Amino acid sequence: MNKHRRMNLILRFFKGSKRFFIIAVLASLATTILNALIPQIFRFTIDSVLGGEGYKYLASHLWVMSLLLIGVALLSGGALFLTRTYTAKSGENFAKNLRDALFSHVQRLPMKWHDKHQTGDIIQRCTSDVEVIRNFVLTQFLEVFRTIFIVTVSFGMMLSMNVKLSLLTLIFVPIVVLYSTIFYRLIAKRFTIADEAEGELSTVVQENATGVRVVRAFGREKFEMERFREKNEGFARLWIRLGTLSGLYWGVGDLITGLQVVTVIVVGAIEAVNGHITVGEFIAFASYNTTLVWPVRGLGRILSDMSKAGVSFERMEYILNAKEEDYSKEVRHETKNYEIAFSHVNFAYDTEKQVLKDVDFIIPQGSVFGILGGTGSGKSTIIQLLNRLYELKDGDGNVMVGGRNVKEIPLEWLRKNVGMVLQEPFLYSRTIGENIAASVPGATMEEIREAAKIACVDEAIMNFVDGYDTLVGERGVTLSGGQRQRIAIARMLLQKTPIMVFDDSLSAVDSETDSRIRKALLQNRKQTTIILISHRITTLMNADQIMVLHQGRIEELGTHKELIGQQGIYRRIYDIQMSQDDRMQVEE
């Protein structure tokens, strides 16, 4: 990212805090000027008050000079207080704007983007990288201005007293700047590698934490600890190298700045002994030299932090430049027709393997449509295309809702009107009631319980000590698989969407509960279109139409009665799943 783009990015997120930063800069300038006056007061006191004849009153009333010093120090302290206060305000507001923009942008990125990026790395970019930039803005960004002020004011004062000593001091400045620049280039590359390693380490922790049940069930604790230890050791080695490089820089830097201080003191003392400068000027000059050394010395730290912030800016810009899903169309979309049609749809993810091949079918409004197929047959892909979690390329067919291409339907409207329950539902670390109401914020308890009753989970919830106020563990780990699925179903039912999709979302409930849920759905569906995806024949057999997918193609399409009359995939699965008595009962 070039400097111009980086500055534009900084200014973009400084919205609402520019005035705070300007106040901080002006206060920093005032602090610098006030601090620069103190050596001049000492010089005047030593040379003119104590060593001269024209200020007898001040010589006999040195408390006046002491009060002057105290007054300047108090003003300097007040200016420093304003500097720190308004720097904090501008920096924290900047970080808040940046976090808001990142989180909002990530929410609108397409599934294809999320498929390519690890969750741990995304989290690291949105937390650690933001913190690096926040620290730079809070400390080093203002330090750039402060360094300019100190160098300008101090060097100006030094020139006014002794040009020879000033030029001697100036010799060391380009050496420190050149040395710091070389260090800046070295650390920038190494910090990029270390930052990426931190993202990998975060991913390992995140995967282990979310998959804790699998780790326990398969006894993978030792394997996971070794995996983490390997990543952690690599991460530690990278930061040790950075620490070694940093230590080398500060060591050599201290040597250079130490030589500068010693050189100025020795030459200044000689000049004072020879009468070329006064004692007061020598003391003031030494004070300015010390003041000048540390901002220049700190240039390496500024450049180091700037390099880290630059890397973090690039990592975040990568996210911010990723193309969002198109939410530009107006949300309002009037329709009373919710017929779904897939017209000669072909689809592949990033691989060359086609997931769907010439898929063509119609789901009439208000009907129950079943989809049966093996793993990888394309069942879930159909739903993801309907909801535009993935987009069809031009020429790969069309997906229509109500006679209108879904590409032309506003995303927000589409996703509010196509309710989905997935096989592995996600639950928040909140109460059961809050999880159900997540789809309709502000829903009443009566509405929440009504949805839960249709999902056949109300009774189970009421058996908990705290009922609907029962806290759910992270990702719902404190509940059984069937309970999680039914709570997710209740959450979707609360939306009362005209299209409801159940993507193998009854797989974790027993057959009796499955039957009760389907019966309740049919009784309460009105004109709702229901799509059932399942491996169970019993879940699908009462659907108005059943589609059988095999390797991305539609192999069979018809009613349960029609399909068991054929010697195809559906009949074979039916014979495997159903006992002889069950088959006779169903066929009767």
Looking at the structure, do residues 299 and 365 belong to the same domain, yes or no?
A: no
Looking at the structure, do residues 569 and 536 belong to the same domain, yes or no?
A: yes
The predicted structure's pLDDT at residue 328: 66
Looking at the structure, do residues 272 and 376 belong to the same domain, yes or no?
A: no
**Which of 494, 493, 502, 567 lies closest to 535, judged by CA?**
502
Measured CA to CA, the distance from residue 347 to residue 354 in angstroms comes to: 6
444 lies in a domain? yes
Which of 261, 291, 320 delimits the end of a domain?
320
Beta bridge partners of 398: 343
The predicted structure's pLDDT at residue 528: 86
Looking at the structure, do residues 360 and 305 belong to the same domain, yes or no?
A: no
Angle at 494 between CA 512 and CA 478, to 5 degrees: 60
> What is the 3 state secondary structure string of 425-476?
CCCCCCEHHHHHHHHCCCCCHHHHHHHHHHCCCHHHHHCCCCHHHCECCHHH
Measured CA to CA, the distance from residue 74 to residue 80 in angstroms comes to: 10
Measured CA to CA, the distance from residue 115 to residue 201 in angstroms comes to: 19
379 lies in a domain? yes
Q: What is the pLDDT along the chain (588 residues), one digit of tens a residue?
A: 556 666 777 777 877 778 888 898 899 899 988 988 888 888 888 877 777 666 777 777 788 888 988 999 999 999 999 998 988 888 888 888 888 888 888 888 888 888 787 777 788 788 878 888 888 877 777 888 888 888 888 888 888 888 888 888 778 777 777 777 777 677 767 776 776 777 677 777 766 766 665 656 656 677 777 777 888 888 888 888 877 877 777 777 778 878 878 888 888 888 888 888 888 888 888 888 878 777 776 676 677 677 777 778 888 888 888 888 877 666 565 667 889 999 999 998 876 678 999 999 999 998 999 999 888 888 889 988 998 888 888 888 999 998 889 888 888 888 888 888 877 778 888 888 998 998 888 889 999 999 898 888 898 899 988 899 988 866 566 677 788 888 888 998 888 888 999 888 777 677 777 778 778 777 766 788 999 998 888 888 889 999 999 988 999 999 999 999 888 899 998 888 876 445 544 554
Measured CA to CA, the distance from residue 214 to residue 209 in angstroms comes to: 10
**What's the CATH number where 184 sits?**
1.20.1560.10
413 lies in a domain? yes
**Which of 408, 416, 374 lies closest to 570, judged by CA?**
374
Measured CA to CA, the distance from residue 205 to residue 120 in angstroms comes to: 8
Q: Which two tokens stand for residue 431?
A: 């109460």
Measured CA to CA, the distance from residue 385 to residue 476 in angstroms comes to: 27
Looking at the structure, do residues 150 and 281 belong to the same domain, yes or no?
A: yes
Looking at the structure, do residues 315 and 348 belong to the same domain, yes or no?
A: no
**Over the stretch 211-253, which tens digit does the pLDDT of each residue have?**
665 656 656 677 777 777 888 888 888 888 877 877 777 777 7
The predicted structure's pLDDT at residue 580: 45
267 lies in a domain? yes
Which of 289, 320, 351 delimits the end of a domain?
320
Looking at the structure, do residues 370 and 282 belong to the same domain, yes or no?
A: no
Looking at the structure, do residues 203 and 63 belong to the same domain, yes or no?
A: yes
Measured CA to CA, the distance from residue 310 to residue 5 in angstroms comes to: 11
Looking at the structure, do residues 286 and 370 belong to the same domain, yes or no?
A: no
Looking at the structure, do residues 304 and 389 belong to the same domain, yes or no?
A: no
**What's the CATH number where 442 sits?**
3.40.50.300
368 lies in a domain? yes
- Cβ-contact 9, 317 below 8 angstroms: yes
397 lies in a domain? yes
The predicted structure's pLDDT at residue 358: 92
Looking at the structure, do residues 369 and 313 belong to the same domain, yes or no?
A: no
Measured CA to CA, the distance from residue 278 to residue 271 in angstroms comes to: 9
Q: Which two tokens stand for residue 332?
A: 């309002």
Looking at the structure, do residues 353 and 299 belong to the same domain, yes or no?
A: no
For the range 344-350, what are the long-range contacts, defined as Cβ-Cβ under 8 Å and sequence gap of 24 or more? 344/397, 344/398, 345/385, 345/392, 345/396, 345/397, 345/398, 345/399, 346/396, 346/397, 347/378, 347/381, 347/385, 347/390, 347/392, 347/396, 349/112, 349/115, 349/390, 350/112, 350/115, 350/116
165 lies in a domain? yes
330 lies in a domain? no
- Cβ-contact 165, 271 below 8 angstroms: yes
Beta bridge partners of 471: 431
The predicted structure's pLDDT at residue 581: 41
Domain limits for position 82: 3-320
Count of structural domains within the chain: 2
